[in-house]
Every structure is written in C-alpha cells, then in structure tokens.
Structure 1
Amino acid sequence: MVKEVVRGGAAREEMEVVTSATTTTVAPALPTQEHRLPLSNLDLLLPPLEVSVFFCYLHPAPSAAALKEALANVLVAYYPLAGEVVVNGDGEPELLCSGRGVDFTEASAPVAELRELRIGMVDERVEMLVPAKKAGVMSVQVTEFKCGGAVVGCTFDHRICDAYSFNMFLVSWAATARGHGGGGPATSNAPSFFRRSLVAPRDPPPPSAPSTEALIDRLFAPLSSAPPPLAAAAASVNRIYRIAAADIAALQASAGPGRTKLEAFTAHLWRLCSRAASPRSRSCCMGVVVDGRSRLFADGAMSNYFGNEACCLLFFKKIPYGVLGSEDLRRKTLADVADDVHRWVVEAATGEHFRGLVDWVEARRPKPAAARAYLGGTGGRDAAVCIVSSGMGFPVREADFGTGPPAFASYHFPWPAGAGYVMPMPSARGDGDWVVYVHVAPELAKVMEDDSAVFRALESTYVFG
C-alpha cells in the first residue's frame, strides 16, 4: 500500500506500515469513583502537548491480549491515566478521573521483518507506529509484524504527566504483565498520589530574594506580556541518531573537569546550532529541562511522587537557558561553552527557585504563562532555539512484558513549536551508548549528520542485530 505524505510543502510517496487496525477501550479492572483533580501550578505552564514512546520487540513479542490484561490491572493504581482533561470554571484544564479508560489499538503491518524499518528516519514510517491520541489522557497501539515481532507505542498528554511519572507507570505495567503481584490489580508499586503539601503554593508566600525574582522573570513570562510564540518550523524533521559510549566520554573529557555528560552534550549541540543558524539568526538560544524533584526534597521524598489529593501527575520541570551570538559560539572552545551551560543550569536548579515558581504562578492565575526559552529567550524571535531534555532515566531494560526486554526504544515528540527539541536516552543494548531523538530544522539535522564523530546514523543492524 502506498500513500502520499506532505511535509514542509513537499509531497513524497512512502510505504504504508499499518494496513489494518481495530481500537477498543481498556478501563481499570476495578471501578473508579468519579472526581476531579486540578492540575498543579507548574502543570499550568504547559500548553496541550502530546508525547509518545515506542518499544520494538523481536520474536517472541508480548501479545496484545497480555498487554491489555496487564493494562486494566495497573490502571487501578494509575487511574488518572484512564481519565479525561476538562476545563473548569476559570478556564483552566483539570483532570476528570472518570474511569473512561485508555484507547487501545491493535494493528498489523505488511512488512515481514522489523528490520525493514528505518528506525532512524522517523518521518518515513516510525511515526505511524505510535497512536494519535483522540480522547482521554493516554492511547496505546500494538503493531504486530509477520516475523513475530511487535512495536508497542504509547501517547500521553504532557500536561498530566512528565517523563519521570510515565516511566513509573511503564515499569509497573511491565511488572504486572510479568505476573508480579499475583496477577491481580497492581497495588504494590502504586505511586504516592495524595501529598498536596509537597507542592502547594506558600500562603502567604515569603518575600523572595531579588535574585530569585529576577531569575523567575527571566525564565518565565505571562503570555499576555510575552512576545508572540516562535512560528512552527514547517520543515522540521524527526530523526533518531546514536552516540557511542566512547564518544560521549570524549565529549565529557573535552568539556573539562566537573562537567556532566549532559552538560558536555548540550555544549556540543549549542556549538552545532551556531553552524546551522541562518544569517537572520544572529543568536542561538539553548535551553535545558531541569527536574525539580530532588531539588525540592533532597531526602528523596518525591522519588515516588505522581500527584496528590488535589494535584495530579506533576510536570516538575524548569527550563533555564542561555543565549549567545553565533559568532561567539563558533569562537569558543567546548570547555568554555560547557562552563556557560553549567553556570545557568546550576543557577536555576535549586529548591528555592522551584518553590518560588509555584508561588509566582499562583499570584498570576488564571492568566497563563510560559517558559521564555520556547519564545527565543532574550535573543528574540530571530534567535535559533533548541531545547535539550534528558531521557537518561528511560527504563528501557525494565520494559519487559514477559517476553524479554525490547531491542530498541525511543521517545517521539514532534511538538508544534518553532524551537528544536533534542532528547538523549540510553540505548537498549545497555552498553553505555546513547540514542538521541531530535525534532529540529533540516539545517541543524544536516550539521548533526555531518558531525559523524558524535552523531552516527542509526543502522538497522545496530538496532536489531
């Protein structure tokens, strides 16, 4: 089967991957008492965005029937994922825990082998293996191949849960499928839903230090006073690359002592952005998504946090960023740029800044706000913008639904924004390699591909052996 695909104004033909599909709804195995849960203040900083993940399993792959049974059981504990997003009287989104269920699609593919898929070229075929979420909070699609392999894809509403929370769900779902807990509804791995005191705004909020207020105002802005959002890049491409463990280590060594792998990677990508920037983009804005769980409670109190009695699945992120001129970036060494990255990440990665942000949003509700990094930061609308979000906590090896861990797994996040998005995560091989999902302008993808010493093509032999 052939279909015509139009992206960025150009049409091309490509093979259809999915030929037949049926969709049912999987509800929690036990009834859910209907109630509403408002989102947290930090959740309200997010526009409606959908994030997907997908796992590739060689023969024997987990069956759709086994996945559906385990899903029904685990949704007893993770019942918010079986709910719906609605609008309250103030015009803000909130979660209706209705027990509606999760849309579950069973599909088949005409290609005989998973190896026929060019996983790295996401736009060609892979995006058809993740479900489009039409209703509810989450959707699942299982695509079976003639070789006995399968791809399990999930799409979820990012306002309702972040990657950390969704990873908790994935691990519990897989454990339930493997039979842990006696085969009944999963409860032993349930997250601690109801602890609103952990994230409630302070009443009254204490006086903030001038430096804290200045930093929050620099990182976030009410949409009414912010510049217009960057126009979506119509020609953005989705790719997946790999980086060898040795190359990651070399980057970290070049970045200088005390720098993390992610800081070194971000610095390297920032320099590549300067090479890809158009003449109009005289500056490059680089943002990093920072997880606030450990910053708010160093004792690990939020390590199993998924929501609370009036605040469900929390997007606990903050996006510090830096802006440098393209020429300055080209002249700087990797170590110099890594120093810049380290400085502005550390500046924002404190518990006081996260608590201050919760109070900041509360003082402005119901007016919406957004991270300035998405809007070009201080570089304005002509800045080249890229956001890095670490997926190194992705539980690839734990996504074993009873037939073994996946041969490959990745996020898929083609967000409708002008900023680029890059997410490194561990390879399913477990050897220290990274796989890197990117949603960027073609010019940056070309520069990354030319940088073969770091970003390498994702060959089928690497993925499936």
Structure 2
Amino acid sequence: MDIAGNGEFSVKLGRKEVVAAVLPMQEHWLPLSNLDLLLPPVDVGVFFCYKKPEEDHLFGFTYMVSVLKKAMAQALVSFYAFAGELVQNTSGEPELLCNNRGVDFFEAYADVELQQLNLYNPDESIEGKLVPRKKQGVLSVQVTQLKSGGLVVGCTFDHRVADAFSANMFLVSWVEMAQSKSVLSLLPSFRRSLLNPRHPGHYDPSLDNMYVPISALPPPQQKKSGTTGDDQLISRIYYIEANQLSRLQSLASASGDRRSKLEAFSAFVWKVVAASTEHGSDKKCRMGIVVDGRTRLSEGDSGERAEMMSAYFGNVLSIPYGEKRIAELEERPLSWVANAVHECLEVAKTKQHFLELIDWVEAHRPEPALAKIYASSDDEGPAVVVSSGQRFPVWEMDFGWGKPVFGSYHFPWGGEAGYVMPMPSPVGNGDWVVYMHMLRGQMELIETQGAHLFRPLTSDYLNIF
C-alpha cells in the first residue's frame, strides 16, 4: 500500500510482523506512576538514517531486518513494558498490561535516495512516511529501504509509558543485543514504589500554577483544516555550529553569572517567540523547560535505591515555566532573559519539588491533569517548551552496518505551545541539531532574526553523498 504525503517520494509498506520478547513471561499489570499520569495520550517518534553499507553483499535489506527483529525480541525481555498494552482500569486511569503482546514491526520501501531526503522539513519527509503511526500496543517500528541501499529505522512510542531517557535506554540496549553483548550496560528498573506519594502528602500551592486538571481547561479552539497561515504549527530541523553556541553562551553570561549553553539557547528562543507577537501587545510569553527528576529524587540515597532511580523506566519529568511581558523580553539583553531561564529551572531542581509534584497528582486523582504550559492558549500569549536531548544516543546506534549519518526525535506533540529539542550533531564536532515544532510565523522569525544561528539541515552538512 502507498502512504500518502505531500513530499516528492512515495513509501510502500511491505511485510508486517509482531515482534514479541523471545522469552515467555507471566502476564501481569504494571500501574503507571503519578508522574506518568501527567502525560496526555501522545506518541513520540524517533528515527535514524544509515548509508548503504560498504560491504553491501553482506548487509542486504533482508539481513538487516532480521538482525533488528532478533535483537528487539531479545531487548524486550528486559524492556517488557514496550511489548505490552495500555488499558483503562476501573478508575478510568490508564494502566499497563504486560502481556507480551509485542511490537508492530513494518518493512517498507521508499522511492528516494538518502541524500534527497528533505530532513530540514520533516513534515514533508518524515511525518507519516518514515516514522510509523502507532495504532496498537506501546511501540511501533518501521524499517524503510531507500533507493541504492540506504536505510531508515523509525520508532513511535507512547509517551505515557516512557520519557526520552527511558526510550534512550531501550535504543542502546537494542543495539547491544544486535552486537551480541551478553549483558546489557543498563537494566531498566520498574520499581513504581520509588515514586509513591507520601502519607500524609503535601505540596506548595505554586504547583497549581504549573499543573492543571483537564476539567479546568477551557474547551479547545477549533482550528481550520488545511490552514497555511502564521497560526499553523510546523516542524523544522536545523543545526547550530559549536562556535555560535559558545558565542551565545558568552552573551548570556554577560551579567557575571555563567549560564549553560541550554540556558543561553532557551533565552534566545524565548526572545524570538516574544518578538513574533504583534508589537504593543500587553500579553505575556511563557518559556517552559523540561527537567528530568531522576538525579533529584535520588539525592541523599545510596546503594540499591539510588541505582534503581538512575535506571528508572517511565516518566520522571517536570515542566516549570517562566512568564514575562513580551515588551520586556524584547527590550532586555540576552543575559537578563538567561537569568530568567535559570530562575525557572531552579524551581524544579530539588528533590522536594518532585516529591510535592507526586503528592499533587495524588491529591487530584483520578482526575487527569497535565502541565499547564502544554495547553497554553493564544489568549494567554505565546508559549514554547525546550527539552534537552543531549543524551540522545545517535553515535551509539550501530547495529552492525555502521553508525547513522543522522538521527532525531520527531515530536509534533499536539499541544498549543511550541516544542524545541536540541540534540548532539552526528558530525561529532560540538554542533547541535535542533528539532523545532512551532507556529509558522515564529519559525519564519527564527530564520530571519536567528539566521546566523539556525542553519537548515542539509545532506551537505551531514556529508551524505
């Protein structure tokens, strides 16, 4: 069958198989943690692009697919959550049924050369073509053969079951099984008691400003289908050179406080998003930063508990956000905005914050809730969320036929706020690759005001010939 799309190439789906864990397991239920319950039902995509193997007589498409399937069946023994199903329990909450249902695994062929893929515009080249749409289970995989022997491995997983840290653990383990390693470098921990609420629970009222029950949200605004205006959310991928990142960091640290590259980058994005709103507006602009709580929740712990927390599989995230007047963000220097980003991050960098967030969810169950910035509306002003993907294991994804020439998350997340994820460049020179999902008008401003920083990703940059 053909997969429809607006790009200049077609994709034909071939064989479909369900890959289950190679060892049988006893069916059991695995409850989602309170932090899992803060995630709406959204899927996350990730993909890796490979050149035609030099020894192509050894690495044909059929052989590579067999390696991927066998290694996945082995990895799913430890990562059994990805082979299960999400089912609604009697309280109306999602719960994971670990039944080894398996992973939908698709083989496909794309009538395009690797160097012809428009990676700068994943809406055209990736969406609905090279990253599968998950219809059942928790994880779906599509392996696509390109003309002249290139390969794309695309995955889609349910965010309610795993965050990026958890997905990265699985990806690395999948590769290790393909490399015939006898022991995985990191075994996942599913010990939900690590995220149990306290009794009695308590939380700071400020969490009511960060998270909100879904029933308290206004009804979603209907968007016109096929819109091409500035209010259309689109995805783009850029690269940022290492020297430009260093320069940005220097500007962000001009007030005397050294700021990280992520803080400097987030400050720049915040300023540009603010500038995309009509001048004279008295609206505010929000900047959210995704914070991983694994190291925070293990503060003061030692031994087995700390080890389990460091390998915890699930969602351990918080999204604190800052809010500033648009005029202020435009007028103030980058260092001032970077200090505001730093203050936003400090809110969630403690063990107490995550313990209180767990208690906040418990106090509102079974009412579903989510991060308030996810549902930001136009009436409240523009908003954007930055999530660091610096631990994205692009260099480690060698299944036996070479490292990928490119890899990225693909996450048009469905929220009203924009979403941005910087990742390490596969070139390995300190550059960043940045996935952006934002309003068209914001993206156009990024490409004008930030043209020196954001360079459209091309096959020339990736040395794909």
Q: TM-score, normalised by structure 2?
A: 0.90
SS of the residue aligned with 1:430?
coil
After TM superposition, the structure 1 stretch with the greater mean CA deviation from structure 2, 26-35 or 62-71, is: 62-71
1:242 corresponds in structure 2 to 239
Indicate whether 1:457 and 2:448 are aligned.
no
After TM superposition, the structure 1 stretch with the greater mean CA deviation from structure 2, 318-327 or 98-107, is: 318-327
After TM superposition, give the deviation of residue 438 of structure 1 in Å. 0.7
After TM superposition, give the deviation of residue 14 of structure 1 in Å. 3.2
1:424 corresponds in structure 2 to 422
SS of the residue aligned with 1:462?
coil
Indicate whether 1:297 and 2:295 are aligned.
no
Describe the shift of the 1:462–1:453 C-alpha distance in structure 2 as closer, same or farther (beyond 3 A). Answer: same
Cα distance between partner residues in 2 of 1:231 and 1:281: 25
Indicate whether 1:25 and 2:18 are aligned.
yes
Aligned residues: 441
1:255 corresponds to which letter in structure 2? A
Indicate whether 1:64 and 2:61 are aligned.
no
Give CA-to-partner distance per residue, 1:32-55, whole Å, 9 cap, x none. Answer: 211111100011111101000000
Contact 1:420 1:441 in 2 (8 A): yes
After TM superposition, give the deviation of residue 134 of structure 1 in Å. 0.6
Cα distance between partner residues in 1 of 2:387 and 2:166: 15
Q: List gaps (5 residues or longer) in structure 1.
A: 6-12
Contact 2:84 2:97 in 1 (8 A): yes
1:381 corresponds in structure 2 to 379
Describe the shift of the 1:305–1:149 C-alpha distance in structure 2 as closer, same or farther (beyond 3 A). Answer: farther
1:69-218 superposed matches below 5 A: 69-111=70-112, 113-127=113-127, 128-181=129-182, 189-193=186-190, 195-205=191-201, 207-208=202-203, 213-218=204-209
Contact 2:44 2:157 in 1 (8 A): yes
Cα distance between partner residues in 2 of 1:86 and 1:177: 31
1:265 corresponds in structure 2 to 265
After TM superposition, give the deviation of residue 237 of structure 1 in Å. 0.8
Cα distance between partner residues in 1 of 2:221 and 2:3: 31
Indicate whether 1:52 and 2:49 are aligned.
no
SS of the residue aligned with 2:380?
coil
SS of the residue aligned with 2:198?
coil
Partner of residue 222 from structure 1, selected from 213, 217, 234: 213
Contact 1:3 1:14 in 2 (8 A): no
After TM superposition, give the deviation of residue 304 of structure 1 in Å. 5.4
After TM superposition, give the deviation of residue 223 of structure 1 in Å. 2.1
After TM superposition, give the deviation of residue 292 of structure 1 in Å. 0.6
SS of the residue aligned with 2:315?
coil
Describe the shift of the 1:317–1:3 C-alpha distance in structure 2 as closer, same or farther (beyond 3 A). Answer: closer
Contact 1:59 1:149 in 2 (8 A): yes
After TM superposition, give the deviation of residue 16 of structure 1 in Å. 3.0
1:400 corresponds in structure 2 to 398
Cα distance between partner residues in 2 of 1:286 and 1:296: 24
Describe the shift of the 1:3–1:103 C-alpha distance in structure 2 as closer, same or farther (beyond 3 A). Answer: closer
Contact 1:114 1:149 in 2 (8 A): yes
After TM superposition, give the deviation of residue 15 of structure 1 in Å. 2.0
After TM superposition, give the deviation of residue 22 of structure 1 in Å. 2.1
After TM superposition, give the deviation of residue 307 of structure 1 in Å. 8.2
Describe the shift of the 1:167–1:43 C-alpha distance in structure 2 as closer, same or farther (beyond 3 A). Answer: same
Kindly, what percent of the aligned residue pairs are identical?
A: 48
After TM superposition, give the deviation of residue 227 of structure 1 in Å. 4.2
Describe the shift of the 1:302–1:441 C-alpha distance in structure 2 as closer, same or farther (beyond 3 A). Answer: farther
Contact 1:400 1:406 in 2 (8 A): yes
Give CA-to-partner distance per residue, 1:327-381, whole Å, 9 cap, x none. Answer: 11110100000011101210222110100111111121101111111233xx873
Cα distance between partner residues in 1 of 2:221 and 2:35: 21
Report the RMSD for the aligned CA atoms in angstroms: 2.3
After TM superposition, give the deviation of residue 382 of structure 1 in Å. 3.4
After TM superposition, give the deviation of residue 281 of structure 1 in Å. 7.8
1:10 corresponds in structure 2 to none
2:56 corresponds in structure 1 to none
SS of the residue aligned with 2:160?
coil
2:386 corresponds to which letter in structure 1? V
After TM superposition, give the deviation of residue 228 of structure 1 in Å. 4.4
Give CA-to-partner distance per residue, 1:185-238, whole Å, 9 cap, x none. Answer: x66642222x33321111222x55xxxx13212211222334445766962111
Describe the shift of the 1:302–1:167 C-alpha distance in structure 2 as closer, same or farther (beyond 3 A). Answer: farther
After TM superposition, give the deviation of residue 67 of structure 1 in Å. 0.3
Contact 2:76 2:83 in 1 (8 A): yes
Contact 1:306 1:314 in 2 (8 A): no
Describe the shift of the 1:2–1:304 C-alpha distance in structure 2 as closer, same or farther (beyond 3 A). Answer: same
Cα distance between partner residues in 2 of 1:96 and 1:154: 21
After TM superposition, give the deviation of residue 29 of structure 1 in Å. 0.2
1:8 corresponds in structure 2 to none
Contact 1:227 1:375 in 2 (8 A): no
Indicate whether 1:16 and 2:12 are aligned.
no
Indicate whether 1:372 and 2:363 are aligned.
no
Cα distance between partner residues in 2 of 1:248 and 1:84: 42
SS of the residue aligned with 2:245?
helix
After TM superposition, the structure 1 stretch with the greater mean CA deviation from structure 2, 228-237 or 454-463, is: 228-237
Contact 2:424 2:432 in 1 (8 A): yes
Describe the shift of the 1:187–1:30 C-alpha distance in structure 2 as closer, same or farther (beyond 3 A). Answer: farther
SS of the residue aligned with 2:157?
strand
Q: TM-score, normalised by structure 1?
A: 0.90
Cα distance between partner residues in 1 of 2:385 and 2:208: 19
Cα distance between partner residues in 1 of 2:153 and 2:223: 29
After TM superposition, the structure 1 stretch with the greater mean CA deviation from structure 2, 215-224 or 163-172, is: 215-224
1:146 corresponds to which letter in structure 2? K
